[in-house]
Structures are given as structure tokens and as C-alpha cells.
Amino acid sequence: MADNLKDKVALLTGGTSGIGLEVARQLVARGARVVLAGRSAPQGQAAAQALGGPEQVRFVAADVSQENQVQALVAETLAHFGRLDLLFNNAGAEGTPGPLVETPAQGIEDILATNVTGVLLVLKHALPALLAHGTGVVVNTASYIGTVMPFPVALPYGASKAAVLSITRGLAADPARQQDQLRVFAVCPWTTDTPMIDRLAGGNPKAKQQFATVNPSGQLATAANVAQVVVALFAGEADLPSGEAVLVDHGGATSRVQPMRYE
């Protein structure tokens, strides 16, 4: 039986490392064509070359907080592949954890610019392309932080990921979008073994493992765990209604997002 992702065109922001790169790898393995977007041209070009030739994988340098760059990203996707079917809105910034009173305004602005403004700008410019042929699938990356668990030392980050959840549900509830047959989801990874955790742990393996203690599994999720859920959502294999947000721990999806807990 033919894979329903074969020849689909996917745009992945934050696609040059971690979860985004693993999603790209799994999509390419199923025959999809992929545009990787990220800020680092050397990293992005190396990732694209490792995944396949230009007929299947293309890198486009873009900062999602800049509207002109987002417009150019979508335009180049369409110019190269002729269509857009799938969007992984994954670019994110974690900032530096710490008390809010010690967080500089610029640090807050940087997180919100990428994690909220960037998500909205990518949707603004990608939606017409996604719906040009009547259907489309969006997966936004949120987090357990700020959605099911408060994190006092990461208030701006948590606020940004709660916003991603609100954007996802709001877009799914839009009657106009329902007529267009858009499906939109969010993934909320528990602490995942990615370069972001390496940065937060300062390269210390023991500190890195401490991050895993917050996960229900007690283990760090893997980029592959999260990517498998994202790809299943793209392929319609997860059997979830549009607007759902899925928590992902070590081993894969765990549950739909429930209200925040405080214990």
C-alpha cells in the first residue's frame, strides 16, 4: 500500500537540529519532500545534504520573527516544490532560566518573538499555501512547561508555550478553516534529549539527567519519540480531532493535554 506521505511537501521551522531534524528524517524516509528552515546556514545546508538531494530536501535560512524572511521562506518553498501540504511550526527559543525579577526585558522579548510572533507569522503566510489545494496539516510545538506544569524559573518560556496551545485551539475552532479541511495539532514534549537540554545543562551529563526527573517516565524523551508522534499526526494515523495537544514522554505519546497541575 502506498504511503500517504509520499510526495507531500513539508515545511519545518527549527528543522536543522533536535526534534525538527528527526521529523525531517522520518518524513524523508516515507517519501515526503522537505524544506528545512533555520537561522544557521552552515548547519542547515549540512543537514539538508545529509538527508537527501535538492529534489527531496532543501534548506532555507530564515528567522521566523522577521516577517519578510517568513514571506521569502514560504515563497521559496512554493517555487522549489510547487505546493505545501504539511507545516511543522517548531522554531523555538528557551532563554535563560531564572527568577523573573532578574530577567532582562530583551530576554523576554527574544523568547516571545520566536515562540509566539514567529508561530503566528509562519501560520499567516503558510496557511494560504496549505489550503490552496483544499487540505493541510499543521503541527505546532508547545511544551509541558506552561501547559500542564508551571515552571517558576521559566515564566516567559511557559507563557509562550501556553500561547502556542491557545493558537492551536483557536485556529482549529475557526469555522472558515474547518471548511478548508485544515487539521491543526500541538505536540507538548516532556523534557527531551535535544541540543536545548545540552545548553541548559551546560554540557554536564549529571545535570542533564536531573532534567529527566520531572518526566512521568523518569527518563528523557528522545527526538525520535516526539517525531514519531508528529509524523503520525501528519499522516492521519493518530486518530485525534483537530485542535488536540499531545504530551510526549520517553516511549511516545502519553495523553492529551489536561489543565495545569500545581502539586
By three-state DSSP, how is residue 238 classified?
A: coil
Question: Which entry of 81, 88, 157, 190 is annotated as an active-site residue?
Answer: 157
**SS3 state at 99:** coil
Q: Of the candidates 188, 65, 41, 48, which has an alpha carbon nearest to the alpha carbon of residue 122? A: 65
Strand, coil or helix: 200? helix
| Residues 218, 219, 220: CA angle, nearest 5 degrees | 135
10 Å Cβ neighbour count for 32?
25
Helix (H) or strand (E) holding 122: helix 118-130
Cα distance between residue 43 and residue 251, in whole Å: 28
Residue type, 180: D
Q: CA-CA distances (angstroms) from residue 101 to 97, 154, 263?
A: 11, 12, 24
Q: Which long-range contacts (CB under 8 A, 24 or more apart) does 147-150 make?
A: 147/188, 147/245, 147/257, 147/260, 148/188, 148/247, 148/257, 148/258, 148/259, 148/260, 148/261, 149/214, 149/260, 149/261, 150/260, 150/262
* DSSP track, 124-151: HHHHHHHTTTS-EEEEEE--SBTTTB--
Q: Look up 262 and say whether it is catalytic.
A: no
**Bridge partners, residue 11, by sequence:** 35, 87
Residues with active-site annotation: 157
